[in-house]
Chains A and B, each alone.
Chain A
Amino acid sequence: MNNFFDYSRFSLLVKRQWTENKFIFLMGLVIFVCITAVIYSINFDAENDYMLKRGMQTMMFIIGLLGGGTLFSNYLFKDFGNNSQTLSFLMTPASHFEKITAGMFYALIAFPVVYAITFGLVDGAFVKLSGNPHNEMLYSMVLDSYKDYSFLICVWVALQMFVILGAIYFGRMSYIKTAFTGFLILASLGLIQYLLYKIIIGSGSHNIDMGDHNRQHLSSEFQFMMDGSKYAFYYLLAPVIAIIAYFKLKEKEV
Chain B
Amino acid sequence: MISINNLSFNYGKRKPVFRNLNLNLSAGNVYGLLGKNGAGKSSLLRNIAGLLFPTEGSCTVNGYKAQDRLPSFLQEMYFLPEEFYTPPVKIKDFVATYSPFYPNFSLKQFLEYLEEFQISDNEKFTELSLGQKKKALIGFGLATNTKVLIMDEPTNGLDIPSKSQFRKIIASVATDERIIVISTHQVRDLDSLIDPIIILDGSEVLLHATTEEISEKLSFKTVSVVTDHEKVLYSEHSIRGFSVVMPNNGHENNKVDLELLFNAALANRQSIKDIFQ
Contacts and interface: CB of A to CB of B under 8 A. Distances in A.
A95 B88 CA distance: 24
Interface residues of B, number: 29
B137 to A, nearest CB: 10
Interface string B82-107: 01110111000100111011100000
A20 B81 contact: no
Given A16-B98, A254-B51, A1 B85 contact: no
Contact of A19 (B79, B93, B102): B93
Given A19-B89, A19-B93, A94 B74 contact: yes
A9 B72 CA distance: 12
Interface string B103-138: 000000000000000000000000000000000000
B45 to A, nearest CB: 11
B25 interface: no
A12 B100 contact: yes
Interface string A199-213: 000000000000000
B71 interface: yes
B223 interface: no
A93 B75 contact: yes
Interface stretch (A56-64, A80-88, A100-108, A187-195): A80-88
Contacts of B89: 19-20
Contact of A95 (B70, B81, B85, B98): B70
Contacts of B96: 19
Nearest to B72: A1
A20 to B, nearest CB: 4
B53 interface: yes
Nearest to B53: A253
B46 interface: yes
Interface string A5-17: 0101100100110
A93 B53 contact: no
Nearest to B103: A93
Contacts of A219: none
Nearest to B77: A91
Given A84-B84, A253-B51, A92 B74 contact: yes
B20 to A, nearest CB: 20
A249 B50 CA distance: 13
A1 B71 contact: yes
A88 B80 CA distance: 9
B105 to A, nearest CB: 11
A85 B85 contact: yes
Given A19-B93, A93-B75, A3 B83 contact: no
B202 to A, nearest CB: 23
Interface centre among B69, B77, B87, B93 (most CB of A within 10 A): B69
Contact of A93 (B84, B87, B101): B101
Given A19-B87, A91-B51, A92-B101, 18 more contacts: A12-B100, A15-B97, A16-B97, A20-B87, A20-B97, A83-B83, A84-B84, A85-B85, A87-B84, A88-B85, A93-B74, A93-B102, A94-B74, A95-B71, A96-B69, A98-B71, A253-B51, A253-B53
